[in-house]
Structure 1
């Protein structure tokens, strides 16, 4: 098969000829392109996306890839790419090969030893070629541990793991120190080094062995009971148990297994195990405060009965422990508590007792614990957590009481972002309770400590409350004058003029505060008569530069560009992977992995990412792209986003293009905004919008928010397709309109994965909701939250206009949905339908 045909088949996702070849021939793909084996290997290890009609001839081969990931072929392919490619492909291939060697179980001890030795050689090559790679360093530690090079592990990461970074390194350091201690070998020596066997454990004298077991037990306790636990700890627990299942006493073993159960959110199992540990050794929870925290979580969440028996048990136990610590004279406390540690434990006990009391919705009783805990709280995150519970409890009782506490504690917040959910709920509850004076007071307290989105929201809502006469203008005006907002004195004209002037001052704050978000900025602009232009005139003609023919649109242009890139890489031209051999050309070279970012010459990350599109792996590219985005300039980010779009990966394209919005001070040009707000399925969406008389910009915004234009996506709840329709809703709507429009059906109803059918059904459903509720915004709430629920909410707030009703919706998801769709509709109207942002908002949200 010639190079061009092979490249064409791979790009189309046809891997049949790869699967038909013997595994030991996989390396021949490097003749096509030194980078090709890497991408093909990733494909062989990953489930395939749904086959298109054009690829029907290769469905059987594709299904074979999906059904049985081929580690044997992938291993040969990764080795070929690590040996012949260079740059990021070489690095990533080496890391992927290491993962296969280290994580896949070998069929025999001899093969395990051989694979461990091979992995160590590759890891050494990684470290030598990519010394700054964090992932290469972590893999090196794992390889050392797998090869039984315990002395080298301890030298690299420290006997106590103090120089280890991340779970892989800490796990390697623990295992090396544990084996050394269990064998009785001095720290850092080679005695007892073994690749997982127990042969070295009898080295040394009986006394040394006994001392070693004590030291090994101590290391196990520190590793498993100190700090957070994760998947690495579970693997290490199995390894340790296989070495010496009798090493740890029953209480310790139960506590470790309980912590692992908490990590899995199996709180009932965790509580049963913790109870056994409490019975055998209750002091364990004072030696290891993280275990105490997990015990609190188990009591809090393992509530299997309506009487909260487990929660009450936990409250009683933690209250007793806290009282004993508080009343015990300092001279009689254990040594660990003599320099202030007792207060830290008392704080944890009180905090978790309060959390358990909250679990029973006994907020006033919970407050007693939280108020007692607050003076003992360490500064920073833990103090913020205690304050958050106090504020949230107060809000559960009444919004005005929450504002009273807010005035006391907000100035001392360590991290205001930790309170974002409380601040969000507070605004809605104050509006629902029509406590406008309290809302104004909350804004006064929050403005100095909050981000622009919060300031914009509160300011807009207060402006609306003033303009509607809900809030007298005098106190808001005083606040504006004190803040230097430039509003003229009150009383110089009519009350209506004063009210208007004050409202405009708050709208001005909202307009100028939230420049990063369209929703409140557009609402404020519509009140101020301002024009929101997200693309300033001097920037509207800017466009990103692309290379390799990527300006040629459509499948043909993309295919031409891909062939040119493949030919360039195979021939060692500048836009390839920097030649074939790289540094040394040995199998062992690799790099720091997708999570490690990119370094090296300009454009290297973009070249690496283009390979995913050249070899039919577009569905695997996003995690790598996101990890490398910081090393890419704006033109490269836009170019890769365009490749996602050309591959039909609209959701990935939007997510990756959004990286540009996160860059401080960066202003998007028109082409970049079109990547964030694309127009796929134009004929289907515009046909549905016209047929059911709904604004096209609104329906585009809904589809973007619902499905990111993935036509066959299925949500966790079972909603399908562009407009995310539930199957039963699709059937009901189809029965109503099937005589009016042509729909595609499958055995059990309309084909919701068909873009046109889904758009027609979803468009009719949205138009029907608009007709029933009389408002596009309330229709959007119903689309997300359900018509019956929204009707109940609306009936409770009949006096509020639509924009203020949004603030009162109790479901954060539905509130955010309304904001997102409305803001996206404004952008679509601006980009494609000749409307201003504020005009779209005014059309969809009339007074």
Structure 2
């Protein structure tokens, strides 16, 4: 009887639990709420049922729609419900599909790593909802084994990864090496070592002295050194300590560590010699008498600091050079930087000896010549520096090393020998795979030439390097050279001297050719606008309202993207997984994540998907992110721009506040929108590193002064209406102070009126578009370009003035 009663109670309890778990089956409700009620609560920020129930049926939650578990995990994270967030993500990797399952797996991987749940992480890699390729799975499993303190298996896994995927391993060499050291140290701590552990640890530590410097290496050494030091030979510990100090840019102490390393090595050598001599002098038989004095010895590790420095002081430059030559490349490079920034004179003497060594390996020959050049330059010896740096560039075994040698060569010549700088840049650009590396030097050199009104230097730069520059810099040079010729800075004789028999027949032909090149490029819109204006073409033409959809580029998608790049050119939004994903973020009130999430998939998204995401961001008032996304859209090679794209990239938010501000100060609407877009991307509360606040980036002192002039009783620079009122009034004041000239007012707005006056004096007589190229603040140069370009787009989109007339007005050339 008792057994039957127990069974009835058990059955009743089971039915009750089952009924609670099946609420979704009753009247279409989920946790007792209609689906519409869930989204109503989301829209007004009310508490969701998942935060107030003890039991959650994750299968039931999927009734809320695709991705519900993933989206709810983000709400759980925002609510500080870490345990629930994890459970939701784990459920999503089981119950969701496609993109939602993949993204949940990625987030779960990050969570497990952050919370040291390595056993769960290993299981996640085994299931692989992230759709990771094999090499990433192997890398992850090695991390998981190490996290579980399974040191022997982890060492095998790291080595297996290195052997099977050498290309991926090469880009992670420092982290792989420190992981191996961590595993060996773990084995020591857990008493899992065999007879070879010290040898293996020493070998791994020695490899750390050979590892090229990376950001992660200094941090890893800071963490590992206190543990490694008592386990390693003294000289090896000192080299690692040197590398760690150099990585922190603590160059003086790092150099002293090198001197200690030399002393330890010298003392060890003396000790070994004495030990050998003592052994040879011992009698073949017998032992010391009982009353003999005990033998004493001083190991290198016990050497006193005074003895260390006494040893170093006995060294001459030749012995120092010998020790440097014995160092691995990476450690020698760190040491060279230490000398460069602390004891350049001594370092120079050492490296002069090093470059004279015969039959150097190519890598070391490059290193020694490069730092000999840097040290000569530090000692104000430009001729000798140029010899060493040019030789270093020719010895370089790879493009990055060659570029850095040529860069320092040209930079050292720039101030006093610009003609030689041109020759060096021409030599560099002829062999470089990365011409953009030299953009700053090309800009500085051309700026110097314009300020000096040196047409010969400009023409020589064009002949030697102009066509080899990176696309954006080439566009700048094309326009600058044509404009300089039109302004009389470059003469026909300058061109003939620079180009010889290839010189153009006339200045007009030279101008037109360069204007054509600038007008037909797509890398730099400012110079395209200007060149079209000079050629008498429309500076800017509106795109069509709509355009045919185009498939994404036929590039290999990112890992686990879920799209192979071969989808049809257009399909309904409902069939586009990324559009559905982005729409889900909006519906679930997760618009703050929309930009970051969309950015993950941009290379494989359809244009329509990107447009929709940008529009949803704009609709949610997230204009900065919408603009960034629209800019990425317009930069894609497969984009046929539409008016919708332009409106997303150049929006007009805060319309009422802007209208009020313009009514007070009478500033051109397109100009003011161009300024606000460039200053803040329409983020009302943004604060710059300098302390400028709000839409028009007002400095507190400027805001206070202008608020007083406007007789404002109170104001808040983070309030859009106040900020626009004050910022517009300030721009109006600068325009009035500059006779209505727009670009000078913009230069003053960015850099201050006093700085602008100094620039105006230096560039007296130059047209304002050439003057812009002479400003010595790169930020102000780019600011002028950005605001003026944006203003032209705003006027073309929303205004009534022809683009050419408007651009002429911006340049102060309107009739």
Q: Tell me if 1:132 matches 2:133.
A: yes
After TM superposition, the structure 1 = structure 2 runs for residues 439-518 of structure 1, keeping only pairs within 5 Å, are 439-473=458-492, 476=495, 490=506, 500=508, 502-512=510-520, 514-518=521-525
TM-score for both structures, normalised by structure 1: 0.75
**Partner residue, 2:203:** 218
After TM superposition, the structure 1 = structure 2 runs for residues 77-116 of structure 1, keeping only pairs within 5 Å, are 77-104=88-115, 115-116=117-118
Cα pair distance change 1:731/1:840, threshold 3 Å? same
**Partner residue, 2:689:** 716
Please point out which of 516, 526, 530 is paired with 2:537: 530
**Partner residue, 2:698:** 725
Q: Give the Cα separation in 2 of the matches to 1:139 and 1:13.
A: 38
Question: Alignment length, in residue pairs?
Answer: 709
Q: Give the Cα separation in 1 of the matches to 2:146 and 2:51.
A: 34
The runs of 5 or more residues in structure 1 that have no matched partner are 47-64, 106-114, 183-193, 302-309, 331-339, 491-498, 547-591
Q: Tell me if 1:246 matches 2:210.
A: no
**Partner residue, 1:431:** 450
Q: Tell me if 1:611 matches 2:584.
A: yes
Q: Give the Cα separation in 2 of the matches to 1:673 and 1:96.
A: 34
User: Contact 1:347 / 1:376 at 8 angstroms: preserved in 2?
Assistant: yes
Tell me the alpha carbon deviations over residues 385-425 of structure 1, each in whole angstroms, 9 at most, x when there is no partner: 11111111111224334234445554333432211111111
Q: Tell me if 1:790 matches 2:762.
A: no
TM-score for both structures, normalised by structure 2: 0.78
TM-fit CA distance, 1:298: 4.1
Tell me the alpha carbon deviations over residues 601-621 of structure 1, each in whole angstroms, 9 at most, x when there is no partner: 873333333333333333233
TM-fit CA distance, 1:43: 5.3
Please point out which of 80, 84, 88 is paired with 1:73: 84
Tell me the alpha carbon deviations over residues 482-528 of structure 1, each in whole angstroms, 9 at most, x when there is no partner: 779xx8x55xxxxxxxx55553343233222x334321121122222
Q: Tell me if 1:542 matches 2:544.
A: no
Q: Tell me if 1:390 matches 2:395.
A: no
**Partner residue, 1:399:** 418
Q: Matched residue of 1:668: which SS?
A: coil
TM-fit CA distance, 1:176: 7.2
**Partner residue, 2:192:** 201
TM-fit CA distance, 1:376: 3.0
User: Contact 1:258 / 1:273 at 8 angstroms: preserved in 2?
Assistant: yes
Q: Give the Cα separation in 1 of the matches to 2:40 and 2:326.
A: 64
Q: Give the Cα separation in 1 of the matches to 2:182 and 2:407.
A: 44
**Partner residue, 2:570:** none
TM-fit CA distance, 1:803: 0.8
TM-fit CA distance, 1:229: 3.2
Tell me the alpha carbon deviations over residues 101-148 of structure 1, each in whole angstroms, 9 at most, x when there is no partner: 23325xxxxxxxxx3322211111117x72527655533331132234
TM-fit CA distance, 1:33: 4.2
Q: Give the Cα separation in 1 of the matches to 2:638 and 2:576.
A: 22
**Partner residue, 1:556:** none
Please point out which of 598, 613, 623 is paired with 1:640: 613
User: Contact 1:733 / 1:764 at 8 angstroms: preserved in 2?
Assistant: yes
User: Contact 2:351 / 2:372 at 8 angstroms: preserved in 1?
Assistant: no
Q: Give the Cα separation in 2 of the matches to 1:710 and 1:595.
A: 33
User: Contact 2:325 / 2:354 at 8 angstroms: preserved in 1?
Assistant: no
Q: Matched residue of 1:648: which SS?
A: coil
**Partner residue, 1:754:** 719
Please point out which of 41, 45, 56 is paired with 2:73: 41
**Partner residue, 1:295:** 335
Cα pair distance change 1:236/1:300, threshold 3 Å? closer
Larger radius of gyration: 2
Q: Give the Cα separation in 2 of the matches to 1:790 and 1:275.
A: 51
Q: Give the Cα separation in 1 of the matches to 2:421 and 2:175.
A: 48
Q: Give the Cα separation in 1 of the matches to 2:491 and 2:351.
A: 53
Q: Tell me if 1:834 matches 2:807.
A: no
Q: Matched residue of 2:469: which SS?
A: coil
Q: Give the Cα separation in 1 of the matches to 2:88 and 2:558.
A: 18
**Partner residue, 1:121:** 123
**Partner residue, 2:730:** 765
**Partner residue, 1:333:** none
